[in-house]
Amino acid sequence: MGNRNRIVGLVVLCLGVLTPVAAASALPSYVALGDSYSSGVGTRVFYSESGSCKRSPEAFGPKVAAQRGYALSFQACSGAKTTDVNNNQLGTLTSTTSLVTITIGGNDAGFSNVIINCALYYFTCGGAINEANNFIATKLAGLLDTTYNNIRSRATAAHVVVLGYPHLFTSTGATCNVNFLTSSNEKKLNETGDKLDGVVKARAEAHGFTFVDDRSAFLAHEVCSSEEWLNGQSNPLEESYHPNVKGQKEFTSEVEAVLP
């Protein structure tokens, strides 16, 4: 009887050890893809192991995962273009992936370069905006289609949520930082953002993905507003014109709102 009791005790102990592992493996899988708007640049706090990808615990991906009980694979990376997603971020997508989120397209269109030209040099701003607008009109859709096809071919049953980009600047073109941005160019940059979101939305919906348009939510919270959800010109410079912690909190709410 003593041996039998010891054996039963060991079995119970083993089950006790294995049960949390089994429970963890049963969590629905969530893969967060994309660029700096998904990785969390702008929040100023990052996982040390994420290196130059600048993945933040304050980004919407970890927040959604924690609140909804997902097992997160956090693949988003600062500076990512569609080709970077295709080549480096899709490895953990499978037929059992439940949720995928992504922001992508801004870097393909060179939007960060446009902002630099407009904020620091002024005279090159108009040309940079025109170049971005042309790229968005002629090349972006095909790049997005390739990336979206790649996502769906791997995550065959996942709910895919594509987030757009909020306006960076107020509708009045309010200025507040020490740079060469003018009200006129800020309004033009918002128009370029609208063109970008228009293509992203059209291609996302063509693939049966859910598009989240966050422009309305960010109204009155752009750069130079009384309560900014986006950083203005910052130190370090890479934190500039990205959602801060409040902005990422809003992204979290918007993604949760479209989940079952």
* 71-86: pLDDT as tens digits: 999 999 999 999 999 9
pLDDT of residue 45: 98
Given the residues 39, 50, 242, 253, the one annotated as active site: 242
pLDDT of residue 177: 86
CA angle 249, 250, 255 (to 5 degrees): 100
Q: Which CATH number fits domain 29-257: 1.20.1630.10, 3.40.50.1110, 3.30.360.10, 3.40.50.10860?
A: 3.40.50.1110
Given the residues 29, 36, 98, 240, the one annotated as active site: 36
Q: What DSSP designation does 28 have?
A: P
Element (H, E) at 98: strand 97-103
192, 248 in Cβ contact below 8 A? no
* 148-185: pLDDT as tens digits: 999 999 999 999 999 999 999 999 999 998 899 999 99
221 is catalytic: no
pLDDT of residue 25: 58
74, 113 in Cβ contact below 8 A? no
- The two structure tokens encoding residue 154: 């791997």
247, 225 in Cβ contact below 8 A? no
pLDDT of residue 10: 41
Alpha helices, H only, 28-76 = 36-39, 60-68
* 106-157: pLDDT as tens digits: 999 999 889 988 998 888 999 999 999 999 999 999 999 999 999 999 999 9
- List the chain domain ranges: 29-257
6 pLDDT above the threshold of 50: no
167 is catalytic: no
pLDDT of residue 22: 44
pLDDT of residue 14: 41
Q: Which residues of 30-62 are buried (b: 16+ CB within 10 A; e: fewer)?
A: bbbbbbbbbbbbbbbebbeebeebbbbbbbbbb
87 pLDDT above the threshold of 90: yes
154, with CB counted inside 10 A (0-12, 13-18, 19+), is middle
- The two structure tokens encoding residue 77: 């990376």
- Which strand ranges, in their side-by-side order, compose the sheet holding 210-212? 71-74, 29-34, 97-103, 159-163, 210-212
Question: Looking at the whole model, is its pTM more than 0.85?
Answer: yes
209, 122 in Cβ contact below 8 A? no
19 pLDDT above the threshold of 70: no
